Amino acid sequence: MASGHILVVDDEPDIRSLVQDILQDEGYQVSVAENAAAAREVRRQIRPDAILLDIWMPGTDGISLLREWSERGSLSCPVIMISGHGTVETAVEATRLGAYDFVEKPLSLAKLLLTVERALEASRLKRENEGLKRQVPVPLEPVGSSRVMQSLRTQLERLAAHDTWLLLSGEAGSGKESLARWLHEKSARRSGPFITVASGSIARDHAAQTLFGSEETGAVQLGLLEQANGGTLYLDEVAELDAELQLRLSSTLERRALIRCGGREPVGLDVRVIAATAQDLDSLVAAGRFREELFYQLKVVPLAVPALRERVEDVPELLQYYADFFSNRDKLPYRIFPVSVQNRLRNYTWPGNQRELRNLVQRLLILGAAPEVDLAEVEQALSGSAPAARPVALRGEGFDIDYGLPLREAREQFERVYLLRQLQETGGSVGKLAKLVGMERTHLYRKLRDLGVDVKAGARED
């Protein structure tokens, strides 16, 4: 069966009734209007997926109404013009104003249905394309074979079959939005929009209009909540909403209807809500900084998204996954992450979580040239994006050899620790280090650079 809401605007009752019956038989929802004023009122209350608009109507004609919608920027769906005796000039003007197509009276029902179907498909593809342009493309799949990720994936797959609201909690960068998008794509709402509300970035002066839309002198501007109708609303960092917005949002979600700024009548809201936060909402509720009723509305099913340091066994899989992803998407050269690099990154604390790992892989693919990523460039990349690492092998400390490493990589690991300690012994003097370890200075500099030991800042040439 077809799906979508069609608005039929025609002053002839017989045509309105005929088209309504045909479209409803095909599975569409249909609203009708006999003139421009009635059409404005219907559009104030609902957001149609397509409009069938008669050109010749008493009072305001179809072309004038189309121009009104176009100039106000409220033409958010395809408009199919109906004409009994149109002219070339009329067709050109309607096309310039954004009309999708024409159907002529007397109506060919087969052509009408085909035109409506094509218009809805074109509109769907346009929304998907605009959505892709707005977002930074990231992989959607929950990647990782660790026990905690297997459990999370199982829960999400189970939830995809239901329309339950969800509260995702987890540190910044842990991949909450990607999981929400994946859940949306797995759900029955996949053909609907996925709208993100970035709570912390909404300008306070226009926050209400941004979320709830507005009505001024007949002009309707859709807010983010209404744009999500039929799909999923993702509330990113919901704790950043101020108290007034929390109250209004709670009322809207409770009634499943919103009132636009400047509006009087409620507008139905059909969305699945997925909220996310990196903060402790329980503590914020107890402190009176987050509304209790909104908290329990959102927390129908709470899910904790683990930090990357809590599932470090997934790091090798994530490295390969993102290397494949950026190679395919950005045409970057594919690079191998050897065991030594995997081991180093498994033991990194990942303060930026999965987002930091993704950015690290992208940087290494862009800047590196060798087929394999080496430890030196990884250390350099990490030092540029994280707090200074704890010095390795200080005086009096031992050195644990990883016997699972290949000989070459184990040797490189030992050489780095050995040279760092000897450099400390010489007070940072590369000249003294060269004599101590029995290496020619040029070769020593090359060796230190290859091992990722940066001595430029404090090295002395004596």
pLDDT tens for 367-385 read 888 999 999 999 999 986 4
| Best CATH choice for the domain 159-305 from the list 3.30.2010.10, 3.50.50.60, 3.40.50.300, 3.40.140.10 | 3.40.50.300
Q: Which CATH architecture has domain 309-383?
A: Orthogonal Bundle (1.10)
Q: 147-160 vs 176-186: helix axis angle to the nearest 10?
A: 40
Alpha-carbon span 25 to 204, nearest angstrom: 46
Residues of the chain below pLDDT 50: 133-139, 385-398, 457-461
Domain boundaries 5-128, CATH class: alpha beta
Give residue 3's pLDDT: 73
pLDDT score for 88: 66
Query: Residue 231: what pLDDT?
Result: 93
* Cis bond upstream, residue 338 (ω within 30): no
Residues of the chain with CATH 1.10.8.60: 309-383
Instruction: List every span in the chain annotated with CATH 1.10.10.
Output: 407-450
Residue 433: what pLDDT? 82
Rounded distance between C-alpha atoms, residue 257 and residue 226, angstroms: 9
Block residue for tokens 């859709």: 222
Query: For position 458, what pLDDT does the model report?
Result: 43
Q: State the CATH class of domain 407-450.
A: mainly alpha
Q: Tell me the CA distances in angstroms from 160 to 1, 232, 453, 454, one per residue in order.
A: 22, 12, 49, 50
Residue entry with tokens 């004409």:
83
Backbone CA torsion sign across 120, 123, 127, 129: positive
Q: Which residue ranges does the chain devote to CATH 3.40.50.2300?
A: 5-128
Q: Residue 454 contacts by C-beta under 8 Å, 6 or more apart in sequence? A: 380, 383
- Please compute Rg for the chain using Cα positions: 30
Residues 328-347 pLDDT 10s: 888 899 999 999 999 999 99
HSE-up of 275 (CA within 13 Å, CB side)?
24
Amino acid at residue number 83: S
